[in-house]
Amino acid sequence: LQLAQESLAKKQDSLRKIENHLRMIQQQYQDSVDQREALKERQRVTGLRLERASILISALADEEVRWSHSVKILDMKLQGI
């Protein structure tokens, strides 16, 4: 009986170690899933920022043309004074 109890105790100890290891692996997996989701959200936000930056750059390029034209007109008016 004592041998059976010792064997049982060893097996229970082994089981506890395996369960602890499993919990650790499950936590690592969950951390990885959470990190992946955070990166996907970051990718989405970065994509939106890139789109907005592109629109802004295009709008500023148009403004540069408009301002350059205005400066030329003002220069011509100043030369006439």
What residue ranges do the domains of the chain occupy?
A: 1-80
Length, in residues, of the chain: 81
Please tell me the pTM assigned to this model: 0.62
Question: Which pLDDT score is estimated for 52?
Answer: 98
pLDDT at 28: 99
- The tens-digit pLDDT sequence of the chain (81 residues) is 899 999 999 999 999 999 999 999 999 999 999 999 999 999 999 999 999 999 999 999 989 888 999 999 999 999 987
Q: Whole-angstrom Cα distance, residue 7 to residue 32?
A: 37
Token pair for 72: 């030329």
According to DSSP H, which parts of 1-81 are helical? 2-80
What is the reported pLDDT for 31? 99
What are the angstrom distances between the C-alpha of 4 and each of 1, 10, 16, 46, 71? Answer: 5, 10, 18, 62, 98
